[in-house]
Structure formats: structure tokens, C-alpha cells
Structure 1
């Protein structure tokens, strides 16, 4: 209970005359009034004090341990379980940076608090928290630095600035009360600590993201180079920018994961501890593409999970570059116009001049649609651009009228590709009417060169290709007045080697590309090309081959043997096949040329494509293909499990039911199965084929139990399993493929279930 009493006292000895009366108000509070709240506060304060002491002692222990480890660093071996803790370094490092930066700013801008004030108390605790987390982060980073793949020189300053941050922050807390009462020493120490923090963070970013990561947006050197399509190099302007964006952050001199460095062509080609990045003798083209094609959750997938991934277009660019020799000096224009790399480059490269700003108006869309045919394709150069590109196909269907028909859109045509068409000299008069033409391809046409002067009338013509035509040096002189011409391609023409030096003098300002010529160096031919696009053939088919070098002889085999220059069949007008066949072909051209590498391609035959298909088990959402006919659509997938042309299933057997509107007499069923051991994709442990006239009365037609691959067996294969049986009339066929229940102990995903991938079911 509260008691209040009022008393009057006399001042000056109690005399009213000499002083005055004072009224005293007294407030009496019993001792028990705050008994509970005092105990609660003291208990809470005591727990907090014990926690602060515990954190301080833990920080002191870590500082001492870190100093001890630094002394004996050369003898230290970090066990695997501690490597996990070390890899938590990137997860924790942002917290001490934030805490210490906030404390440092507070010290610099805030007045010094009174000793014992609540602000001083809580500020000290923030500093202790920053010191503890900074020391813990430094300890984790120290353990992470013991892993291979980091450049010692790049790691050196990051390690010591991080350790300095830990030591300084702990020392600051330990001697915080011994600093002079004026603010200058504390502010100087705060500023120095913040500078060390920034330097340590910047050096760490350089290791994980590449040099100058922090200032990269401000540096002009990082801007995309201005380069014309005709001058662009495949590696420097197309491949290297992809690698720098997606790969170099982990494969640089400061952080060489797998001992692979991609910052120079020499070190990139050399490879890392797992070998060279590419190998054209392998079906998967080597490590670079194998890692890119692995599932995202695979620990060997590159770029690793959490990093920006390669797009499908970028993977195709890398594949095209590797397939064509992985040259560091090749130019983009040496690639075919329909090659994925060429298309990618034409869409992405920044041109040296603004060629995409055209003054002419766009053509009528209806007219463009009307002029588009199966043999003449008209497309805009880019979205919303009025400029058009025209390409011709089918040599037998081409006529001069196909050029004159383009007159309504002649002002919009800037690119024209009539390669391999029977274009004649008189047709150049028609082409000369396309006043805005910039690029003209007349490779392997019937042009003899007698009317080349017509093309000099084109005021904007920058690129002309006459490769494979019989034009002569004197006829090319008619192009002297083509003022805009910059690139002239005359490979494999009737021009003699000794005439080129004179031509270069006459055609000043024109880059004359004639190919490599030497009497002492022998070059290697590239493999032949297969014109047929379909790999799955219905009935008999004729395979067509071609080679870009005039006079090259193509020899081939159909019995899976290697073709040679003496005994193998010579390709002439076509190759007739009516069964599943592996075609192998090589190109030869003596003298002065080495034979090409072997071109190998498998063609599959199907006699009775099913009318419909139904999956009786649900595939993975990620590997369910496109549409409900993926197993019978007659489209063979490549060796990329992400192509959306494979059915992938893991948890249960893959069961597909095929149906025919009318019964067929089958005697063979073939299953196209994908194997990629590194991605846990194994052949089925068991496969069954069932057939019959009624869906509920099917009989077993065949069964197989494939042998499982071992640790050293080929990792990436496309296999075909054949089931042959007595001729059987069927209206329904059921296919069963059982996945591997337990991956072997030698595999990285040991003990898990294997995947089954299938893309085609062929019935003959």
C-alpha cells in the first residue's frame, strides 16, 4: 500500500519571522512493491550476461585457434567433414560485413556515449557479435582455402585481409574501454576496419566471379567489341563471351576448379586434371559438353546449380565450334549460313556500323507470304526490321523467273542466297535491280563471270561470294567500281595462284578470300555431309551425300567397317537402303589433301508406324517429351536428355501401349534406348514385348535382360535393342522397360534408382 504524508517545517531555526514554512511531501513504497519485477529483470540480465560471456570466450578461443593454425599451416590437412564447414564460408560472410559496417558507421557519425549508458551497452554487444561472426567466417574461409583449385597468389591477400578483420574486430572489442576519451582514435580505427572489409570483400569477389568483378560495369574494356559480321572471329567474338559469362568465374587463374583455366586459349586447350575440354573422336564430344548436358541436380553438371546456366542456343554454339575443329582463329563467315553458330552470331554481334537502320519502308506482309514457296524462303533480318533475306532451295525447281518474281519487294531485299542454284550470267541483270542488296551468295552456281560488271551497279553491295564457280581474274576486275564491296570470296575458282597478288592491288579496299594455297603443306578435308534430314525411314530410301570441296571423292560403307580410299564404294548419285543401316563415309582428294575423318550416321527403318500410343505409367515431368506420340513420331533424338524427345522414367517400369486401326503382321520390334552413365541413365534391367489382337489378351513375343555397363564402359551411347519373333498379326503392342533398382557402388549416385530413357519404338 502506498502512504503519502505531508509535514510542515520552519526554516531559520523554526522562527516564522526569520524564515518561512516549507511543506514536505513524502511517498512511502513498501519493499515488496517491486520485488517480482526486480527478480525478473535481474534474471533476464543475468542470462544475457552469461550469453555475452560465452560469445566472448568462444571468440577468444577461435582467435587463438586461428592463430595456431596459421603457424602450422603447411602441416595442416583438412578432413572431408571439415571441408563441409569450410564451404559454408560464402553463406556466413555477409553477416559480419553488415554488422561491422553498421557499427563502424555508428562510431564515425554518432557522439561518444556516456559510460554505462544503454546505447553504449548495446553497441558493445553489436561489436562483439561482429567480431564473433568475422572470426568464424575467417576460420571457415581458411579451411576452404585448403581445397585445390585456387590460385595461391590471388588467395593470399583475400585470406590475410579476412583474418586481419577477425583479429582487429576482436581486439577492438577487448580494448574498447581503454581508448582515449576523445573520438579520433575510435573513428580512425573504425575507418581502417571498414577499408579492410571492403578490400577483403572485393578480393573474394574476384576469386569467385573473376577479376575486377566490382568495377566491371564501369570499365569500358568490358563493352562488347564493335565488329562486322564479315570480320568476326568464332572464338573471340562468339565462343569466348559465352565462356566469360557462364564459366570463367570458376575457371580462372585465381579459382581454377578442376585445374582448368579458360582465360587464355593455351590454358583452355590444355585442359585440367580430368583431361582436355573436347574430343571430337567421342560421340559426346568430350568433357565440356558432357558436363553441360548432365541433369541440373547432378553434382558434375556445369555450370553448377545456382549459377547462370547455358542456354540451348549457347550449347549448340559450343557443339558446332567443337565439331568443326575448335579453331581459335576461324571466322564466322566460314561457317554455313544454316549452322547454329552462324545464326547465333548474326543475331548477337554488334556490327561496326549501323546496318540495321534502313531508310526504306517495309514490304507488304501479304505480298511476302504470297512470294514464299517451298523452294524460296523470305524472312526479315530481325524483328520489326524492313530488311529481307531471300534463300533458294531445290536446284531442279529453280528458274530465272524466281528472281524476277521478287521485283515487288526488290527495295527491301538486302541478302540473297542462291548458292548451288543454276543461276546464269544473264540473271545478274535481274539481281542488279535489287538496289539495297548488301550480301550476295552465288557459290557453286553456273556463273562464268562474263557479266560481273552488272553487280558493280549495286551501291550497297558489301559481300560477294563466287566460290566454286569458273570465274577468271580478268573478269573480277569489272568489280573495281563496286565502291561498297569489302569482302570477295573466290575459293576453288579458275583463278591461278600467281594472279591473286595482282588482283589485290587492283581491288583496293577489298578483302580477297581465296583459301589457303601451298605446294608444301597438305591439308585435311572435312567429312562429307548427309543431305537427308530424317534418320527414321519408312520403307526404301535414297541417301544423298555432298562435299563442299569441288573434286572431292566420297567413299562409303554400309557394313560398319571404316571406308578407305581404295576398296570402299564410290558415292555417285545416291545410296539405296531398305533396312536399319550404319552409313560411314570419308572424303578424298589427292594430291595435296589428307582424307577426311569418318562421317558416321545410323538410319532406322520402320514398316508399321503405330496409329496411336498411350503411356500406362507416368514419366518424369522433366523428361516427358513433347506431345503424346514421342515414342512413335519418327523423329530420332540426339544424345541430349534435355532435348524433350526422350521419355524418362525412374520410379516404376516404362510401359507403353501401341495401337493400330487395322491389324499388321509384325516380326520385329526395336527399342531406341539412351545410356548416359554419368547422369544415372542405364539400360533397362529387363525389357518385354507383348502383342495380340485384343488389349487384354496379349502374349509375350520377346524379352531381353541387357548387360549393365561397368565403371569403365562408354558413358554416353545411343543403343538399339532388336526383338525378333515369328510373324504375328497384331493390333496392339505393349512395351515394358524396367529401370535399374540400385545403382552400383562405384557410381557417384550409388544406391539410388537408375533412369530409363527411350525415344522411338520401331515396328517391322
Structure 2
């Protein structure tokens, strides 16, 4: 290497040591701008160069003092240049890696080990370069240093692979084969014996306390329900809104598809089990035997735990696997009912997207479908003609659909239909009196939460000796069930002047009682919601459902917001962050409220966020308005670094260039361990006629010392602002 070039490279090596030491000492205070993030993401591309160069240099260093090489000038000069180049490449790689590690989603012990072994290699290679010509540096020192460097390179590579691919990436192909759980079905717990093993085989290698990919841990129920940096993983009872199932159903080529390409994928059976478990409220304690005999989750979980050894014989052949795979969508899952069985189970979700075409598309596999779940879908009588073509159907779930007795007569031709679920429908005693005798093959009929009384169910049972009529809940007070909470039916909780409160319950005869003073409603003293309650200011309503013979529901809280004015135009003064762009400045006045789980694709457009700069914008009113307050709604999730604004400033005036400060105020900060929540805060000021307003919301500049990201800037997320 040319002398001047070598001197320059050596000076660069010294500077690199100082710079990397500085980065490591002040790492917690680093804020990486977007252009440096791009450089940081080149870390996986560059890291192969120092690995190869240093491995070759250490091999030559190991044999450097052998007599045949010790006096070879070319060997000595080539090795010295190679070691210098390797150390400089290692410096570049370490710097890029430190930049990359400051992005969200890189945490845990694996990252720590990778960072320090990588930095250690660079410092150790630099030391070897500087001392290798000292008088005391002999063969033993050279060989020891070379071996230590190689070991460190292997360890660093291992931790890097674990960060990228998961801790069990190398052995996964031979270790991921599931052994059937040896657990009796009457003792099996759905989560412990079915769901958790699926997660352990396919997910926890990347989502565990040692490797916090996406700040998500999937090793225990509390962490699963908490979710990660992309929001809540599971919405109990709502598979289509659950991030877990959204990611699973993404195309394989999508970056966010889970598990990542190259890792063992979830089978159709496993996807269906996860979907059904979430749909059943993601219960972590429920036993398999607590589910009804005909319940899809029970049937599939039993097949998963104890595959049939003597499977039921069917006369029809198996459907084409590729065709079945193509028919699976985000809202329709199709899977074998048992191993090596041609029988298929179909589950359809998402009432808003349902239509009879979803049944028409199953024409090629209708002979193989023996179980069809249409629970809570808007199924009409006309759809039953299509269902009647599934000639081998054994189980049919029509709970909470719009079918009538007249339409159900279409099912009389299904010779194999054994189980029919009609709970929550509008059927009455006379309907079923005429219908059940026509459904000759049906052995079990579920009719709870219909117009039938306990006496009606008993009468039907006596008239149909060969059938089991399941009436479920009886309004006799002996075996009460708990009501689910009431639901808000208002199109939006945001109103300009006044609003008639519309909170209802799906079960007939239920009383919804409420309070507006912060107390919990009771069944006697609290007023009834009769759709005549009018609110004219920001209001928090607490409501509970009550009905004779039932336990009262859990209390539910609804927040209503008054927003009298909407700007004619708005302009951002500082950019929103890359992840939380939402609808730009329009987000603040679009009357769409977000929910906890800000990065969930279904809700991402509701949250605007900033971290590295203020949230600032100017709004214009073509006609001056009289303002006296501004409120904003924000998210708090301290565990993921989402904090309230540190300060909010409101400026106003008649021209854009002549605005004065109207008020400024602060939001209360959360304490350690506080649950995630959605909050609002309002700042009032003397009524002021304005044509322009400027809002500046400052994110928390230093996260508290008790937080794992202490000292860093917090993320501020706002979904709506209210002008009055």
C-alpha cells in the first residue's frame, strides 16, 4: 500500500475508533434523521466485506511467524494492508449497524449481544493492527488474537442471523415438526394445548424476550394481548380487525407477511384454529369441552390434538389442494376436517363483505364441504337455495342470520345434515313446529336467544323425540348468563351543535341505563336511555345493560365530542413521521376517531404522529369565526413510547402573518405501568374572532427515567381536534 495512502488510512482508523466510542457512549441520545436511516439500512449489505477480509487476514496472521513466511516482505505488507482494510470496513459496518439499531423494532438481548460483539471485533482488530509490530508480539499472541477474532466473527454472525431470521433459524427445518400433544381431550385447554404450540412453532423464534422483533412478545398471554409497535395483535371476537390474522393473510411477497418468507408457514389448519380462537374472544382459560359439541373450534382443535386414526369414510374424493388454497381469502377459510380426510370445513367472516357469491365460488368443492359456518352473516332465504346444493353437508351454523322457516325448507333435501344452529334468528314456536319434521336427518337444533320460551323448547323436544333441541338460556333466574355490553349506534361521536344519544343492545327486552356524572349505572336508580337524551357539550356516558334473569353487563364508556367549526383549509408547517402519515393535516378534522393499536393497517389512517419535530399546522376560515377553545384527542401507551404532548400552543389572528398566542397548556403524563388509553384535553381562552389559527403540539422531549427508552423523544399521536 502506498505510504501516503496508508498514513491516511491509519488516521481514518484512529478517527473511527473515537467516533464509534462516542456513538456507543451516547447511543441513548441519538436521533437518526431519515437520510442516515437509509445509510443504516445498508448494514446487511456491507457486513459481508469485513467478515471475509478479517477471516482471511486472521488466517494469514495465524501463520505469520512460521519461518517460511516471517521473512517474506510481500506476505508481511499484504497482510498489514489486508488487516487495515478489514478494520476500516468493520468500522463502517459498526456505524451503519448503530444507525439501524435506533429504528423501531430492534430491541432485546440478541441485539445487545450482536452490537457489542460486532463493536468488539472492530476494537480488537484495531488493537491487533497497532501492536502487531511490537517486540513482545510473537507467535502465541498472533495465534491467540486470530482465534479470538474468528470466534467473535462467528458469534456476531450468529446473533445477526437470529435478529434477521429468528433464534432457531438453522435448526428450524428439523425441529419444527410438531409432535401430537398427548393430552386427553377432556383436559385440553384451547390456548395451552392448541394455540400456544402453533405460536411456539411458527412465531416465537422472532417474538420473544430475547428478540423483540417489532417490540412484540408471543410467549405469554399478557404480552400477546399487549401487542407490539404495530398495535394490538388481537381484537377479541373480531378476526378481520386482528393484526395477527391480517399479516398471516397478506401475499407471501408482501414485506409484512408473517411468518416471513423463508420461514415455516402456517398451515390452513393452523390459520383456521387461530381465526376461530380469536373469533371466540381469544380466551386463554377455556377448556375444549366447554365448547358446544358442534362448535367449529372444538371440532378442529380435537382433530389437531388427536387426529382420527379410524376416520369416517366418505364416498367423495378429496378436492384439489391448489384449488382449495386459491379459495381461501381473508374472510373465508377452508380446511380439511381431519388428517387424510377429503371432508372440508368452511368458515365465512366479515358481515359487511358477505354476499352469496362467496357460496357460488365453492361450486368446485361443494361435494367435499361437510361443515359450513355462516354465524352472524346477513344470510337471506334466497341464499339457502345455494346452501342446499352442498349435498354432503353435516353441520350448518346459521346463528344470528335473517333466515325464516319458509326459506329453511330448502334444506329438507340435505340427507346428511345432522346439526343445525338457528340461535338468534326470528323463528318462533309455530315456525319450528312445521319445520323440524321436514328436516328428517337433523339430530341437533340450537334455538337459544330466539322467540321461544323455555316451555316452547320443551314442547318442541317432546314433539321431536329423535332430535336434541337446545334452548340454551332460560329466563327463569336459575342459570343466568351475563349480558354483553351495549353498543353506540350514532354514526359518529363528534357533533357540531347537539346530538341525540343512540346506545342500544342487540338482545330484545334489554334495558340500557346510563350516567353522565362518572358513577357506575345501576339497574334501579340510573335513568333509562330512551333515544331522547340530547347532549350539547363534550360528554362521557357510562352505560350498562340489564334484563330480568340475566346478570348485568360490564360497564362501557362512550365519549362524545362537540366540534362546532371545521377549517376551510389547513397546511402543515412540519412533516409528520414516516409511519403515521394518516390523511395528513386533514386527519385532525375528519371526524374519524382512532383506537389503540396505531399501526394496525385497518386503523392507520386515523392517527397522525410526530417524534423528531413539533406537530404544527395553520388553518384558515374563509369567514371569521368566534373561537374560545381547542381540544385534541391523543393516545397514551407508555410501554411503546407513545406519550401525551408536552405542550400545546394555540395562536390566532385575522391574518396569517399577524397571529398572537391565545393560550398554551400541558397534558398530564402517565406513570409507570399505566394501561394504554385514549385521552383528550382542552385549552380555553377569551373568545376571539379569528380567520387563521396555528396549532403547535410538542412531543415529550425526554421520556422519563423509569422507561426503557429514557431520555429519548416520545412519539405523539393525535387523531382529532375539536374547535369551539
TM-score by length of 2: 0.55
1:614 and 2:591 matched: no
Is residue 616–residue 657 contact of structure 1 (8 Å, CA) maintained in 2?
Answer: yes
SS at match of 2:612: coil
Partner of 2:539: 581
Partner of 1:491: 448
Partner of 1:683: 644
Partner of 1:736: 696
Q: Mark the structure with the bigger radius of gyration.
A: 1
Partner of 1:506: 466
How has the CA–CA distance of structure 1 residues 574 and 141 changed in structure 2, closer, same or farther, with 3 Å as cutoff? same
Within the candidate set 400, 422, 426, 1:465 is matched to 422
Written as runs of structure 1 = structure 2, the 5 A alignment for 1:467-482 is 467=424, 469=426, 471-472=428-429, 475-476=432-433, 478-482=435-439
Deviation at 1:657, TM superposition (A): 1.2
Within the candidate set 332, 342, 348, 1:347 is matched to 332
Within the candidate set 589, 612, 618, 1:657 is matched to 618
Within the candidate set 697, 705, 710, 1:750 is matched to 710
Is residue 334–residue 344 contact of structure 2 (8 Å, CA) maintained in 1?
Answer: no
How has the CA–CA distance of structure 1 residues 40 and 418 changed in structure 2, closer, same or farther, with 3 Å as cutoff? closer
What is the CA deviation profile of residues 127-170 of structure 1, one whole-angstrom value per residue up to 9, with x for unaligned ones?
9999878977999999x9xxxxxxxxxxxxxxxxxxxxxxxxxx
1:556 and 2:514 matched: yes
Provide the C-alpha distance between the structure 2 equivalents of 1:45 and 1:420, rounded to a whole number of angstroms.
80
Partner of 2:99: none
Provide the C-alpha distance between the structure 1 equivalents of 2:472 and 2:660, rounded to a whole number of angstroms.
63
Partner of 1:571: 529
Deviation at 1:623, TM superposition (A): 1.6
Deviation at 1:704, TM superposition (A): 0.8
How has the CA–CA distance of structure 1 residues 355 and 348 changed in structure 2, closer, same or farther, with 3 Å as cutoff? closer
Within the candidate set 668, 678, 682, 1:718 is matched to 678
Written as runs of structure 1 = structure 2, the 5 A alignment for 1:174-193 is none
What is the CA deviation profile of residues 224-253 of structure 1, one whole-angstrom value per residue up to 9, with x for unaligned ones?
xxxxxxxxx89987787456522377669x
Deviation at 1:616, TM superposition (A): 0.9
What is the CA deviation profile of residues 460-502 of structure 1, one whole-angstrom value per residue up to 9, with x for unaligned ones?
9875525254523993573344367687431123354645765
SS at match of 1:570: coil
What is the CA deviation profile of residues 403-449 of structure 1, one whole-angstrom value per residue up to 9, with x for unaligned ones?
xxxxxxxxxxx99899899x9xxxx69966985488684748796x6
SS at match of 2:625: strand
Deviation at 1:630, TM superposition (A): 1.1
Provide the C-alpha distance between the structure 2 equivalents of 1:456 and 1:46, rounded to a whole number of angstroms.
92
Partner of 2:172: 213
Provide the C-alpha distance between the structure 1 equivalents of 2:538 and 2:495, rounded to a whole number of angstroms.
9
How has the CA–CA distance of structure 1 residues 487 and 670 changed in structure 2, closer, same or farther, with 3 Å as cutoff? farther
Partner of 2:595: 638
Is residue 535–residue 635 contact of structure 1 (8 Å, CA) maintained in 2?
Answer: no
Provide the C-alpha distance between the structure 2 equivalents of 1:706 and 1:441, rounded to a whole number of angstroms.
49
Provide the C-alpha distance between the structure 2 equivalents of 1:550 and 1:520, rounded to a whole number of angstroms.
20
Partner of 2:358: 381
What is the CA deviation profile of residues 329-382 of structure 1, one whole-angstrom value per residue up to 9, with x for unaligned ones?
5769989xxxxxxx988533515366699xxxxxxxxxxxxxxxx999746328
Q: What is the root-mean-square deviation in Å for CA atoms of aligned residues?
A: 6.0
Provide the C-alpha distance between the structure 1 equivalents of 2:481 and 2:110, rounded to a whole number of angstroms.
55
Deviation at 1:638, TM superposition (A): 0.9
Provide the C-alpha distance between the structure 2 equivalents of 1:503 and 1:261, rounded to a whole number of angstroms.
54
What is the CA deviation profile of residues 653-711 of structure 1, one whole-angstrom value per residue up to 9, with x for unaligned ones?
2111112233323232211222222233322222111222221122322211334x254
Deviation at 1:639, TM superposition (A): 1.9
Is residue 359–residue 386 contact of structure 2 (8 Å, CA) maintained in 1?
Answer: no
Provide the C-alpha distance between the structure 2 equivalents of 1:489 and 1:318, rounded to a whole number of angstroms.
19
Deviation at 1:629, TM superposition (A): 1.0
Deviation at 1:751, TM superposition (A): 2.2
Partner of 2:101: none
How has the CA–CA distance of structure 1 residues 136 and 735 changed in structure 2, closer, same or farther, with 3 Å as cutoff? closer
How has the CA–CA distance of structure 1 residues 655 and 610 changed in structure 2, closer, same or farther, with 3 Å as cutoff? same
Deviation at 1:570, TM superposition (A): 1.6
Provide the C-alpha distance between the structure 1 equivalents of 2:504 and 2:109, rounded to a whole number of angstroms.
58
What is the CA deviation profile of residues 511-535 of structure 1, one whole-angstrom value per residue up to 9, with x for unaligned ones?
x554356975443222122223523
Is residue 388–residue 414 contact of structure 2 (8 Å, CA) maintained in 1?
Answer: yes
SS at match of 2:435: helix
SS at match of 1:733: strand
How has the CA–CA distance of structure 1 residues 713 and 322 changed in structure 2, closer, same or farther, with 3 Å as cutoff? farther
SS at match of 1:681: coil
How has the CA–CA distance of structure 1 residues 488 and 535 changed in structure 2, closer, same or farther, with 3 Å as cutoff? farther
Within the candidate set 656, 660, 664, 1:699 is matched to 660
Question: Any gaps of 5 or more consecutive residues in structure 1?
Answer: 1-37, 51-79, 93-126, 145-200, 224-232, 270-275, 279-285, 296-300, 336-342, 358-373, 388-413
Alignment coverage as a number of residue pairs: 509
Is residue 682–residue 740 contact of structure 1 (8 Å, CA) maintained in 2?
Answer: yes
How has the CA–CA distance of structure 1 residues 665 and 433 changed in structure 2, closer, same or farther, with 3 Å as cutoff? same
Deviation at 1:736, TM superposition (A): 0.9
Is residue 576–residue 615 contact of structure 2 (8 Å, CA) maintained in 1?
Answer: yes
Within the candidate set 202, 206, 222, 1:245 is matched to 202
Is residue 629–residue 683 contact of structure 2 (8 Å, CA) maintained in 1?
Answer: yes
What is the CA deviation profile of residues 146-200 of structure 1, one whole-angstrom value per residue up to 9, with x for unaligned ones?
xxxxxxxxxxxxxxxxxxxxxxxxxxxxxxxxxxxxxxxxxxxxxxxxxxxxxxx
Provide the C-alpha distance between the structure 2 equivalents of 1:248 and 1:483, rounded to a whole number of angstroms.
51
Provide the C-alpha distance between the structure 2 equivalents of 1:480 and 1:560, rounded to a whole number of angstroms.
54
Provide the C-alpha distance between the structure 1 equivalents of 2:277 and 2:650, rounded to a whole number of angstroms.
36
Provide the C-alpha distance between the structure 2 equivalents of 1:430 and 1:717, rounded to a whole number of angstroms.
42
Partner of 2:128: none
1:456 and 2:412 matched: yes
Is residue 445–residue 469 contact of structure 1 (8 Å, CA) maintained in 2?
Answer: yes
Is residue 388–residue 410 contact of structure 2 (8 Å, CA) maintained in 1?
Answer: no
Provide the C-alpha distance between the structure 2 equivalents of 1:460 and 1:610, rounded to a whole number of angstroms.
63
How has the CA–CA distance of structure 1 residues 658 and 600 changed in structure 2, closer, same or farther, with 3 Å as cutoff? same
Written as runs of structure 1 = structure 2, the 5 A alignment for 1:250-399 is 268=220, 276-277=222-223, 288-289=226-227, 293=231, 326=284, 328-329=286-287, 346-352=331-337, 378=355, 380-381=357-358
Provide the C-alpha distance between the structure 2 equivalents of 1:452 and 1:322, rounded to a whole number of angstroms.
26
